[in-house]
Chains A and B, each alone.
Chain A
Amino acid sequence: MSQTKTYLSKTIEGMKPSGIRRFFDLAAGMEGVISLGVGEPDFVTPWSVREAAILSLEEGYTSYTANAGLLDLREAIAGYMEKSFQAAYSAEKEIIVTVGASQALDLALRAILDPGDEVIVIEPSFVSYVPLVVLAGGVPVQVQAQKELGFKIQPEQLEKAITGRTKAIMLCSPNNPTGTMLNKRELEHIASIAEKYDLLVLSDEIYAELAYEGEYTSFASINEMRKRTILISGFSKGFAMTGWRLGFVCAPEQISQAMLKIHQYAMMCAPTMAQFAALEALKTGRTDVEEMKKSYRRRRNYFVQSLNEIGLSCHVPGGAFYAFPSVESTGLSSEEFAEKLLLEEKVAVVPGNIFGASGEGHVRCSYATSMEQLQEAVKRIGRFLERSRKA
């Protein structure tokens, strides 16, 4: 019998669907699940921001904006990046408003990669990095951050992975899924490697607003790094605006203009009402962000300490809203642990191995859920561990 013909590209056929999908399907059909599997804030977007979007609709702002986004918004982003992160960019030439930070990642990779160019991806990493590199024609080179070092990548590891084809390093601090945040000194080590080997750094700073330990440092603010940095951020996490799909990318003019070319053909512009919402978020949302950050921090303190008490060893994450405890003491793999916990105790977590090889033996728990739910989740996980110890 002849094989059924597919019309798909070889790249897509060779691509695995996200491992998160299977867990979603498993959990979605169940009642009474406490989900620690959600990679987004539990807050609804602040009302003042929602109201600004409604107003923009009422006033009839329903047409396209400039490709790079509303100039007012880009100016507000420029002011925000300079004031909060010491990263100065020109609103006219160096900032593009995108459809989420995800599109910004895609733009950046497509703008810089030729077929066969290598990009270093530090794992455990956000699930999209590797596929997006492949889609852009690049070759992802994964390096594994080690749990013994709190999932902080070591400069020697990066250096070993560099070849003549290496074009860029992808960085995410605070990190999804580990919550690990790199301090200024650690970023400077990476900077010196970028300098030495003449590499670009794609710095995914989407969790920058949610940094709990010490000062947050933007990679672009490090000496001499602005010219090598493609800074990716957005409103989803800090401002609780995931569903609006609004991000932005800042990069030196040459790279920005290249990204803008792709953006204008492939996307035209980010949704107009979401841009108005983002503008309001930057104008008046600061106090909301501070309040939400305080709330995440308290829940992190409670949850991480509780996990350690019931026997899941967990480093204290410096940022984001994820705890990444080890489940090795149970003798189960990440997937087995996550699946059994879901079926037996109805707590959904995400197995660490889907974020890369070094994530195996861990699970990602989002603590962006109510205190009541966290308290109940701790009880259930504790019960589960009791049982698995006896078994």
Chain B
Amino acid sequence: MKLTDKQIEILEILEKNSARIPVEDIAKMAELSIEETAQALDTLEELKVLVRYSSVIDWSKVDGHEGVTAMIDVKVAPKRGVGFDEVANRIYRFKEVRSVYLMSGAYDLSVIIEGRSMNEVARFVSEKLSTLDSVLSTTTHFILKKYKHDGTIFEQNEDDKRIVVSP
């Protein structure tokens, strides 16, 4: 899919700023009119290039919502005709599953699961995931601490260290 320079500019602005940035401000930054910007956003949404306006939340700070995240290496037996897609599809439909990637290397699918507790994740792996026909084996890694997530560093001292007025 070939996008225009301005469409790419808008995507970069969205990616680097808060999802709440007003359309008028995006328009100014990209040197477009508000109408042109709104139209470009519509187009990008229709094309599913701009999939969702999301927020990065550090749930570990919120009492009762800390949860656990696990990355699971899954080895599967691909099926004739549909390869890995069918089994991936069976996996990503579970709402506990946050991401599914097909990997090169030692295993086939990387599955990221979020649950309220280790028990919950463990139950999901043993009851739902490993019982799927094509799943040969699973290796579960629990995430202990998130330092950086989707380009955002969680615990960073963001203070402006510059002096207030300088030549």
Seen from chain A, the residues whose Cβ lies within 8 Å of a Cβ on chain B are 18, 20, 23-24, 27-28, 33, 35, 37-40, 42, 126-128, 176, 294-295, 298-299, 301-302, 305-306, 348, 350, 369, 371-372, 375
Q: Is B167 an interface residue (CB 8 A)?
A: yes
Supply 5 further A-B pairs (C-beta < 8 A) apart from A298-B29, A302-B29: A18-B167, A42-B162, A298-B9, A301-B29, A306-B28
Using CB atoms and an 8 Å cutoff, list the residues of chain B in contact with chain A: 9, 12-13, 16-18, 21, 25, 28-31, 160, 162-167
Q: How far is the CA of A27 from the CA of B29 in the complex (A)?
A: 29
Verify A295–B16 contact, CB threshold 8 A. yes
Cα distance, A23 to B160, chains bound together (Å)? 18
Q: Which of B12, B29, B164 contacts A37 (CB 8 A)?
A: B164
**Chain B neighbourhood of A295, CB < 8 A:** 16
Cα A176 to Cα B166 in complex, Å, equals 12
Asked if residues A33 and B164 are in contact (CB atoms below 8 Å), the reply is yes
A298-B30 contact in complex given A42-B160, A42-B162, C-beta closer than 8 Å: yes
Q: A24 and B12 in contact (CB under 8 A), knowing A302-B25, A305-B28?
A: no
What are the residues of chain A within 8 A of B167 when measuring CB–CB? 18, 20, 39, 126-128, 176
Residues of A within 8 A of B28 (CB): 301-302, 305-306
Do B18 and A23 touch across chains, with their CB atoms under 8 A apart? no
- Judge whether B165 and A371 touch: CB under 8 Å: no
16 contacts between A and B (CB under 8 A): A18-B167, A27-B165, A28-B163, A33-B164, A35-B162, A37-B164, A37-B165, A38-B163, A294-B12, A295-B16, A298-B30, A301-B30, A305-B28, A350-B165, A371-B18, A371-B25
Whether A375 lies near B25 (C-beta < 8 A) is: yes
CB distance from B90 to the nearest CB of A (A): 40
Q: Determine how close the nearest CB of chain A comes to the CB of B118; give it in whole angstroms.
A: 34
Contact among B9, B12, B162 with A38 in the assembled complex (CB-CB below 8 Å): B162
CA distance A209 to B30 in the complex (A): 20
**A348–B165 touching, CB < 8 Å:** yes
Q: B30: which A residues are within 8 A, CB to CB?
A: 298, 301
C-alpha gap A55/B29 in the complex (Å) = 38
In the bound assembly, the distance between CA atoms of A224 and B117 in angstroms comes to: 74
The distance from the CB of B84 to the nearest CB of chain A, in whole angstroms, is: 34
Closest residue of chain A to B166 (Cβ to Cβ) is A39
- Which residue, B16, B30, B163, B167, has most C-beta atoms of chain A within 10 A? B167
A35 to B29, CA, bound (A): 20
Bound complex: CA of A101 vs CA of B114, how far in Å?
A: 52
Residue pair B25, A23 in contact (C-beta under 8 Å) = no
Question: Which residues of chain B come closer than 8 Å to A302, judged between CB atoms?
Answer: 25, 28-29
Could you say which residues of chain A place their CB within 8 Å of the CB of B18? 371-372
Residues of A within 8 A of B13 (CB): 298
Partner of B164, one of A38, A42, A299, A371: A38
Smallest CB–CB gap between A206 and chain B, Å? Answer: 12
Residues of A within 8 A of B16 (CB): 295
- B163→A371 contact, CB < 8 A: no
Given contacts A294-B12, A306-B28, A371-B17, whether A37 and B160 have CB atoms under 8 Å apart is: no
Shortest distance between the CB of A236 and any CB in chain B (Å): 11
B25 touches A40 (CB 8 A): no
Q: Which residue of A lies closest to B25 (CB)?
A: A302
Q: Tell me the complex Cα distance, A42–B12, Å.
A: 19
* Chain B residues whose CB sits within 8 angstroms of the CB of A375 once the complex forms: 25
Check A24/B160 contact, CB under 8 A, given A301-B31, A302-B29, A372-B18. Answer: no
Q: How far is the CB of A233 from chain B (nearest CB, A)?
A: 17
A24 to B167, CA, bound (A): 10
Chain B residue with Cβ nearest A354: B167
Are the C-beta atoms of B12 and A28 separated by less than 8 Å? no
A284: min CB distance to chain B, Å: 19
Chain B residues, Cβ within 8 Å of A176:
167
Closest Cβ of chain B to A259, distance in Å, is: 23
- Measured between beta carbons, the chain A residues less than 8 angstroms from B162 are 35, 38, 40, 42
Top 8 A-B pairs, shortest CB-CB distance: A37-B165, A298-B29, A24-B165, A302-B28, A27-B164, A305-B28, A302-B29, A35-B164
Q: Which interface residue of A38, A369, A372 has the most chain B CB atoms within 10 A? A: A38
Nearest-Cβ distance from residue B4 to partner chain A, whole angstroms: 16
B160 partner residues in chain A, CB cutoff 8 A: 35, 42, 369
Q: Is A38 within 8 A of B165, CB to CB? A: yes
- B29 x A299 contact (CB < 8 A): yes
How near does chain A come to B16, taking the closest CB pair, in angstroms? 7
Chain A residues within an 8 Å CB radius of B17: 371
Cα separation A302 to B13 with both chains bound (whole Å): 12
Q: Which residues of B contact A128 (CB under 8 A)?
A: 167
A126 to B9, CA, bound (A): 33
CB distance from A90 to the nearest CB of B (A): 32
Closest beta carbon of chain B to A15's beta carbon, Å: 15
